[in-house]
Chains A and B, each alone.
Chain A
Amino acid sequence: MKSYLASRFVIDRNQDRCIHCRVCVRQCGFDVHSYDVEEDEIVSSESRCVGCHRCVLFCPTGALTVRSNPLSYRANANWHPEAIEDVLKQAETGGVLLTGMGNDKPYRIYWDHLVLNASQVTNPPIDPLREPMELKTFLGAKPERVEIDPATGALVTPMPPQVAIEVPILFSAMSFGSISLQVQESLARAAGQAGTLFNTGEGGLHRSLYRHADHAVVQVASGRFGVDAGYLEAGRMVEIKIGQGAKPGIGGHLPGEKVSVEVAATRMIPPGTDALSPAPHHDIYSIEDLAQLIFALKEATGYTKPVGVKIAAVHNVAAIASGIVRAGADYIAIDGLRGSTGAAPKVMRDHVGIPIELALAAVDTRLRQEGIRHRVSIIAAGGIRCSADVLKAIALGADAVYVATAALVALGCHLCQMCYTGKCSWGIATQNPYLSRRVNPDIGARRLTNLLRGWSHEIQEMLGGMGVNALESLRGNRLHLRAVGLNEHEMRVLGVRPAGE
């Protein structure tokens, strides 16, 4: 069938600069560039270009420019180009449109409407270069109060398992399968070096990464891939994955062609078979079933580590979170509308769920109203782009945040949203060994630790500016936030006052 879709990108090759070295041919995972031996000429098939810039950045002579196709549709505020192109794609394939990464639609980004405070005169800012500035955070349920034996002065209160992290930023769930082993190793090593955790995602833990398991959140998802006693035993925390911000309400599907021998061994399934995660856990049809799974996992791990639950941010998130706390979870991860994915139906990614800022504020408020906030840590996920976003999330009430997209961008991801194809030119979202070896875990870990170090310094500067020297003094401290350009309903949900008031 003749495709009626125009190329998204135009590739300009400066022939004066091109030395026919064929780097672009080798670098492109999507076979855009090819070398014509007879003509001694490199040709580019623009229709395949995803705009990931791998060839542009690796061209030794800077001969390539990739830009958006200026193709001008007749102006139409309703039938914008994406709407037209999606119809064309479906008319040509009859399928569900797939995509990768997070929601790219212009929903309001609340981070960009919240501003932070700083001290002037009446209280002094604190200089993090001269004074201690503590970011250490403990994840896990806390008792409501501390009890001391009045006779001996000894601590009576038993403390549930706690996990200390040096920075309030964890790497979010990305399974081996959705990303390469090299990328997961980079994340694991960086987590270890920075004193935080990475998350295995629902794909199990490859045997070569067990040495990093003390920095792993091991996920138990509806497919139960890679879950056995050793896996649960090895992880620092256990996470039941109920939902994902990029695709609330549906499961996952790793196509058989990506299930390599190593992926298969790690997931404990036969090579080449589709790895299907059902939409619900087949043993969880209500909150009491979740409580059973939480305690089954606590029993399996001897009550030595926090067991948390990850949910997508949906309309009733506050009530759901409250139920999860009462079901015994030690932490709740909430993944917002802009959370990423390796593969999801585009329609789900772009239209289901609510922004993390609102979900986080609603959950923190509700748990405090019910007097159960201390019983869980909250990890906010989905759309954290910089250290200011991290700090704003903490001021809204998060104990820590999960980042995934930012970590992948640190490793080279240019957000072309083609993760689901397995052809990632940056070697990130692929199992093709020719591509995946592009990420060197030594360098990958260094890029990631650099990112965390940079963000930590920035967080310390901002905290010091606000006049506090411990992160816990900002947690849930919404007086340090003000809203710019939000309406009253939004400010009420966020629990923040307008700037100037």
Chain B
Amino acid sequence: MSTHPSSLNNPYGDGKVIDACSIFGVMDRSGACFSGDDAIAAIASMHDRGNGLGGGFAVYGCYPEFKDWYALHVMYMEGGVREDVEGYIDGHFHLRLAEEVPTRRTSRITDPPQVWRYFVSREGGGEPGESDDDYVVRQVMRINTSFKSAFVFSSGKNMGVFKGVGYPEEIAEFFCLDEYRGYIWTAHGRFPTNTPGWWGGAHPFNILDWTVVHNGEISSYGINRRYLEAHGYQCTMETDTEVMAYALDLLLRRHGLPIELAATVLAAPLWSAIERNGSPEAALQRTLRQVYASLLMNGPFTIIIAHAGEMVGLTDRIRLRPLTAATLGPRLYLSSEESAIRLVAPQVERVWTPLGGQPVMGRLAEAACWNAGDVA
């Protein structure tokens, strides 16, 4: 069997991977880091929304001692390939530290891959004018498409993705996530219908420090994918989440749009609403929708997007998948189900259901940004 990501993740060659799930996110907007206990308990409480074929977490602020280094998390599905990949990494990056990601033997996680992490920086290579981020993206894509049975699934600074096949609480136990601290935790429990489950196919999906956890099936997937492919992305995973992540990368990083406008692209307002809107903003919305028509994510979805200092919840424009938001002091909660929030924060101050297509944003205060990730 080929071990190319698409064949692992989509073994029957369906148009794409179909799945549903539970999602949860919690952020401390003051930048204070906290343990994963709440996120793990909350996602575990939505156990029935997954089927044990994928669980995962993103933790922001978890590598304060290496915060200026890209942390590459790499899974090796077969022995032997690690030497090749490490040779490649060594040849293309300045390597600060390589270590095996600590794991715990648990009875319910079977046949895990080897998971290693590498703290790296760019080593002056790359094409003229290429930014460090672009360079890292290119190398990650290169590794993921050219090395059989190796997969980079996390590549940001001072953050990490931990994911695999199993229920999310089992994955947390496996990766010893109770020992990590972060100021944003996002979590995902997966219910795929056409994949046996593959470690790389679990959520969160990541590129640089951007992560997406996603509940939904994007009916516009075909055109979203074709559009992104025309912009140089290789959709090796054949999932909705992947196109969501690449779309955000294109809009936010490459086209420099603020996240509010990126949300306007993914869950565009109706034409009738744009026409009713007499403000100058209407022209901007119209232009965005005309130019990025192929990035409208049509069909049911809820996503939690995170990157350094920011966590955003968004549903499709007619809210076909659930999202509940809540606040308690500096904490912002986003969840598929309200019960998961109330489980870990019974005294929440405000709980609400966001309107379809309207992002819920959590942002670090300006001052806190500088300290993001420093252990509070």
Enumerate A114-160 residues with CB–CB distance to B below 8 Å. Answer: 119, 122-124, 126, 131-132, 134, 136, 138, 142-148, 150, 153-155, 157, 159
> A434-469 interface mask toward B, CB cutoff 8 Å, 1 = contact, 0 = none?
000000000000000000000000000000001111
Residues from chain A with Cβ under 8 Å of B19 in the complex:
122
Contact residue among A123, A371, A472, A476 (Cβ-Cβ distance under 8 Å from B219): A123
> A349-373 interface mask toward B, CB cutoff 8 Å, 1 = contact, 0 = none?
0000000000000000000110101
A480 and B298 CA atoms in complex are apart in Å by 13
Contact residue among A132, A138, A473, A480 (Cβ-Cβ distance under 8 Å from B296): A473
A395's closest neighbor in chain B, by CB?
Answer: B222
Enumerate A473-501 residues with CB–CB distance to B below 8 Å. Answer: 473-480, 497, 501
Contact residue among A147, A162, A368, A466 (Cβ-Cβ distance under 8 Å from B256): A147
Given contacts A136-B271, A468-B220, A470-B268, contact A124 B226 (CB under 8 A): no
Given contacts A132-B272, A470-B268, A479-B15, contact A155 B283 (CB under 8 A): yes
Q: B261 interface residue, CB < 8 Å from A?
A: yes
Residues from chain B with Cβ under 8 Å of A253 in the complex:
none
Enumerate B294-317 residues with CB–CB distance to A below 8 Å. Answer: 294, 296, 298-300, 317
Q: B81 interface residue, CB < 8 Å from A?
A: no
A369 and B220 CA atoms in complex are apart in Å by 20
- Taking each of A124, A145, A146, A476, which has the highest tally of chain B beta carbons within 10 Å of its own beta carbon? A146
B14's closest neighbor in chain A, by CB?
Answer: A501
Q: A89 interface residue, CB < 8 Å from B?
A: no
Question: B290, A142: Cβ atoms under 8 Å?
Answer: yes
Q: A374 interface residue, CB < 8 Å from B?
A: yes
Given contacts A134-B271, A478-B222, contact A157 B291 (CB under 8 A): yes
Contact residue among A469, A476, A480 (Cβ-Cβ distance under 8 Å from B294): A476
A294 and B222 CA atoms in complex are apart in Å by 33
Question: A470, B256: Cβ atoms under 8 Å?
Answer: no
Question: B261, A148: Cβ atoms under 8 Å?
Answer: yes
Residues from chain B with Cβ under 8 Å of A132 in the complex:
270, 272, 318
Question: A123, B220: Cβ atoms under 8 Å?
Answer: no
Question: B318, A468: Cβ atoms under 8 Å?
Answer: no
Question: A497, B290: Cβ atoms under 8 Å?
Answer: no
A130's closest neighbor in chain B, by CB?
Answer: B318
Question: A474, B291: Cβ atoms under 8 Å?
Answer: no
Question: A470, B296: Cβ atoms under 8 Å?
Answer: yes
Question: A480, B222: Cβ atoms under 8 Å?
Answer: yes
Contact residue among B217, B223, B256, B284 (Cβ-Cβ distance under 8 Å from A155): B284
Question: B217, A123: Cβ atoms under 8 Å?
Answer: yes
Question: A146, B300: Cβ atoms under 8 Å?
Answer: no
Residues from chain B with Cβ under 8 Å of A119 in the complex:
219, 299
Question: A157, B287: Cβ atoms under 8 Å?
Answer: yes
Residues from chain B with Cβ under 8 Å of A368 in the complex:
226, 229-230
Q: B16 interface residue, CB < 8 Å from A?
A: yes
Q: B320 interface residue, CB < 8 Å from A?
A: yes
Question: B288, A146: Cβ atoms under 8 Å?
Answer: yes
A143 and B290 CA atoms in complex are apart in Å by 9
- Taking each of B223, B227, B318, which has the highest tally of chain A beta carbons within 10 Å of its own beta carbon? B223
Question: A467, B219: Cβ atoms under 8 Å?
Answer: yes
Contact residue among A159, A470, A473 (Cβ-Cβ distance under 8 Å from B290): A159
Residues from chain B with Cβ under 8 Å of A374 in the complex:
291
Question: B292, A146: Cβ atoms under 8 Å?
Answer: yes
Question: A479, B16: Cβ atoms under 8 Å?
Answer: yes
A143 and B256 CA atoms in complex are apart in Å by 15
Tell me the smallest distance from the CB of A157 to a CB of chain B, in Å.
Answer: 7
Question: B293, A475: Cβ atoms under 8 Å?
Answer: yes
Q: How many residues of A contact B (CB 8 A)?
A: 45
Q: B97 interface residue, CB < 8 Å from A?
A: no
Q: B13 interface residue, CB < 8 Å from A?
A: yes
Residues from chain B with Cβ under 8 Å of A126 in the complex:
318, 320
Residues from chain B with Cβ under 8 Å of A123 in the complex:
18, 216-217, 219, 299-300, 320
> B244-282 interface mask toward A, CB cutoff 8 Å, 1 = contact, 0 = none?
000000000001111001000000101110000000100
Question: B257, A146: Cβ atoms under 8 Å?
Answer: yes
Q: B193 interface residue, CB < 8 Å from A?
A: yes
Q: B20 interface residue, CB < 8 Å from A?
A: yes
Question: A472, B270: Cβ atoms under 8 Å?
Answer: no
Contact residue among A122, A157, A472, A479 (Cβ-Cβ distance under 8 Å from B20): A122
Residues from chain A with Cβ under 8 Å of B283 in the complex:
155
Contact residue among A147, A373, A470 (Cβ-Cβ distance under 8 Å from B230): A373
Residues from chain A with Cβ under 8 Å of B261 in the complex:
146, 148
Given contacts A146-B287, A159-B287, contact A475 B219 (CB under 8 A): no
A131 and B316 CA atoms in complex are apart in Å by 13
A475 and B224 CA atoms in complex are apart in Å by 10
Question: A468, B217: Cβ atoms under 8 Å?
Answer: no
Question: B290, A162: Cβ atoms under 8 Å?
Answer: yes
Q: B233 interface residue, CB < 8 Å from A?
A: no
A478 and B16 CA atoms in complex are apart in Å by 13
A138 and B292 CA atoms in complex are apart in Å by 12
Residues from chain A with Cβ under 8 Å of B151 in the complex:
none
Given contacts A468-B219, A468-B298, A473-B298, contact A148 B257 (CB under 8 A): yes
Question: B270, A134: Cβ atoms under 8 Å?
Answer: yes
Enumerate B172-210 residues with CB–CB distance to A below 8 Å. Answer: 193
A73 and B193 CA atoms in complex are apart in Å by 60
Tell me the smallest distance from the CB of B207 to a CB of chain A, in Å.
Answer: 19
Residues from chain A with Cβ under 8 Å of B216 in the complex:
123
Residues from chain B with Cβ under 8 Å of A473 in the complex:
219-220, 223, 296, 298-299
Contact residue among A154, A155, A479 (Cβ-Cβ distance under 8 Å from B221): A479
A143 and B293 CA atoms in complex are apart in Å by 12
Residues from chain A with Cβ under 8 Å of B298 in the complex:
467-470, 473
Residues from chain A with Cβ under 8 Å of B18 in the complex:
122-123
Residues from chain B with Cβ under 8 Å of A136 in the complex:
271
> B316-349 interface mask toward A, CB cutoff 8 Å, 1 = contact, 0 = none?
0110100000000000000000000000000000
- Taking each of B13, B16, B227, which has the highest tally of chain A beta carbons within 10 Å of its own beta carbon? B227
Question: B219, A143: Cβ atoms under 8 Å?
Answer: no
Contact residue among A138, A369, A475 (Cβ-Cβ distance under 8 Å from B223): A475
Tell me the smallest distance from the CB of A149 to a CB of chain B, in Å.
Answer: 10
Tell me the smallest distance from the CB of A430 to a CB of chain B, in Å.
Answer: 40
A-B contact pairs, 8 of them (CB 8 A): A124-B320, A138-B290, A145-B255, A467-B300, A468-B299, A470-B298, A473-B299, A474-B223
Tell me the A residues contacting B by CB distance below 8 Å.
119, 122-124, 126, 131-132, 134, 136, 138, 142-148, 150, 153-155, 157, 159, 162, 368-369, 371, 373-374, 466-470, 472-480, 497, 501
Q: Across chains A and B, which 9 residue pairs bring their CB atoms closest together, nearest first?
A: A479-B222, A473-B220, A473-B298, A467-B219, A477-B222, A472-B293, A123-B217, A477-B223, A468-B298
Tell me the B residues contacting A by CB distance below 8 Å.
13, 15-16, 18-20, 193, 216-217, 219-223, 226-227, 229-231, 255-258, 261, 268, 270-272, 280, 283-284, 287-288, 290-294, 296, 298-300, 317-318, 320
Q: A131-B318, A497-B15 are in contact. List 16 more A-B contacts (CB 8 A).
A: A122-B18, A136-B271, A142-B291, A144-B291, A146-B284, A146-B291, A154-B280, A466-B219, A469-B318, A472-B293, A472-B294, A474-B223, A476-B227, A479-B15, A480-B222, A501-B13
